[in-house]
Amino acid sequence: MRTIWERNRDKEIGSRVRKMRTQANVTQSELARRMGRSLRTIQKYEDGSIAMTVSTMERVAHVLKGEPMDLLGYPRTVLLQRVQEWVEEWDKGEQRD
């Protein structure tokens, strides 16, 4: 049984799938066809009633020409900023040694 946190997370991811799909001007039926899944499965992904595996999120993002991290709520720009911050922190530590 999924926890409340897991259900909420799946709904948020589903909402991002829907947003990415509509921005790509792709119907649920077309996404289902491209992924080899049923229309009902795509509907369940989007409403959060079933969880997607990481490989499924990668496939959805690929088909819709998006980034998998966007589905998780971590836009590429935020990730790049965090990596830059980590590199800067690491550089500061190296300079002290």
| 8-20 residue pLDDT tens | 999 999 999 999 9
Q: To which residue do tokens 């830059």 refer?
A: 84
CA torsion angle 45 46 48 53 (round to 10):
30
What's the pLDDT score for residue 93? Answer: 76
CATH number at residue 36: 1.10.260.40
| 25-73 residue pLDDT tens | 999 999 999 999 999 999 999 999 999 999 999 999 999 999 888 898 8
> How many domains are contained in the chain?
1
Determine the structural domain holding residue 73 and report its residue range: 4-96
* pTM assigned to the model: 0.75
Kindly write down the DSSP assignment for every residue of the chain, as one continuous string: ---HHHHHHHHHHHHHHHHHHHHTT--HHHHHHHHT--HHHHHHHHHTSSPPPHHHHHHHHHHTT--HHHHHT--HHHHHHHHHHHHHHHHHHHHH-
What's the pLDDT score for residue 66? Answer: 92
